A = this chain, B = another copy of it.
Amino acid sequence: MFMRVDKLQAELPAPKKKDPNAGAALQELLGGKYGEMSTLGNYMFQSFNFRSKAKLRPFYELVASITAEELGHVELVSNGVAMLNNGPDNDGDESDGGDISGASNELMKDIRLAASFLSNGGGSAPINSNGASWNNDFVTTTGNVVMDLLHNFHLECGARLHKLRVYTTLSDPTGREVCGYLLVRGSVHAHAYALALKKITGVEIEKMLPTPNIDLSKIPECQKYLDEGSHRRLYTWSPSDYKQMSGIWGNGEMALPGDPPGELVVVDGMPEGGKIHQLTGVPSAFTPDYAPEEMFEIATKLTKKAR
């Protein structure tokens, strides 16, 4: 079972301008082969399909627990996409849309992923930066533990490469923050799967990290997360389960050489997180609707009636 908390894993700064192509670039990190839908989909189905869960508890818990974090990553990238498509906070206009006969959204005709506006109203979707859909081809769930873990290790390295590439195309702080946070957390996952593989096979595959060959210290947006030790922490993302994965992450294992030193540690629960940015509606794009005033009033009344 899963629970939800109405926060993001990291606080995102407001975008400086409406930049749908930047939102589209972020989509590669959402619906691309090495995007967050893929890390989510792989670990989720692997955890469901895990054989001999009781006998392989630490390995099962590692995959099961990271699944919950990946959900939050999908959420974080999605929020980044929608924010970049929406633009600065004062760009929207939640009041009546007025005259729509003047091609008010003409600029949207020439953006790369036109359907992101036409169909999704600027929202995120499980597609990559070219508009191709995420799908089952991106899911490896073989039931063979070594194979699945090896796949996951390669997946996290690939995800790191893609995040780095997207990062180098973005100048807006919203998208850069998304990348900075995810680079730190993705590196943790690559490290964790490496250690799990090492426990079973004896191969010190974590020495292959970082892949690509660049330390997080080179990315300014990663610093605050490194400073707070995020690179040394795996959260259980659970009220009371998944603590036995500390046999893999912990147990004397240390941070990677290029990162701030310290012992790896499993932390119960989840990080504090940041608030979810308000996405202003754009009535001329029919979000939340053309003339939403009455809808707002209804919602206000319902809120009052709620306990």
Contact = CB atoms under 8 A, between A and B. Distances in A.
Given A288-B56, A292-B52, A136 B125 contact: yes
Contacts of A21: 109-110, 114
A237 interface: yes
Nearest to A295: B200
6 contacts: A2-B237, A103-B171, A123-B143, A125-B141, A126-B139, A147-B212
Interface residues of A, number: 171
A208 B121 contact: no
A247 interface: yes
A285 B159 CA distance: 14
A218 to B, nearest CB: 6
B72 A299 contact: no
Interface in A99-151: 99-101, 103-106, 108-110, 112-115, 117-147, 150-151
A68 B122 CA distance: 23
Contacts of A238: 3-6
A136 B136 contact: no
Given A49-B124, A150-B208, A305-B247, A214 B100 contact: yes
A121 B104 contact: no
A181 interface: no
A147 B279 contact: no
A132 B129 contact: no
Nearest to A49: B123
